[in-house]
Amino acid sequence: MTERLATQRKRYRMGDPLLPFVEGNMGALRVLTDLSQKIQGMDFMMFVLDLDDMNIRGSQIWVAYKDVCNTDLDVLIKRVKGRDATLAEAINKVCPDGERAVAHGASFAHL
């Protein structure tokens, strides 16, 4: 087992509140793991809430990181924190089926 995978397994256990955001996508797990090492503590949890507010989960996280932000975590962080509408549009073009990414407001859509 690689060190990276071992770290992921330690960080994400059953019942972890981040598991719904991964939706079984190992790319998303990798991105969230890398982000949790780059952004510490509550700032990381706030970033996860930013993802939730944009309705970005699972394969959408991976697409945002790999295809839209060219594997640059700093660019991903900036675009998510800035609620970049073009990020949501680009994700929706690559992932046209299922839930749509939005610039903001998804966290409260169910209320």
* Residue range of the domain that includes 45: 24-101
In a domain, 66, yes or no: yes
Q: What separation in angstroms does the CA of 62 have from each of 5, 72, 110?
A: 17, 12, 24
- pLDDT at residue 50, as a whole number: 95
**What confidence score (pLDDT) does residue 105 get?**
81
Single pTM value for the model: 0.81
Please state the domain count of the chain: 1
In a domain, 109, yes or no: no
Q: Could you identify the residue written with the tokens 């969230």?
A: 32
pLDDT of residue 72: 98
Residue 5 maps to a domain: no
Question: Which candidate, 63, 56, 55, places its Cα nearest to that of 106?
Answer: 55
Q: What is the phi/psi pair of residue 55, to 5°?
A: 60, 40
Any domain includes 60: yes
The CA distances from residue 52 to 55, 86, 105, in Å, are 5, 17, 9
Is 10 domain-assigned? Answer: no
Question: What is residue 5's predicted lDDT score, i.e. its pLDDT?
Answer: 47
pLDDT tens by residue, the chain, 111 residues: 455 544 555 554 544 777 888 999 999 999 999 999 999 889 999 999 999 999 999 999 999 999 999 999 999 999 999 999 999 999 999 999 889 999 988 776 544
Q: Tell me, what's the pLDDT at 19?
A: 81
16 is a domain residue: no
On the 0-12 / 13-18 / 19+ scale of CB atoms within 10 A, 100 is middle
Residue 18 lies in a domain: no
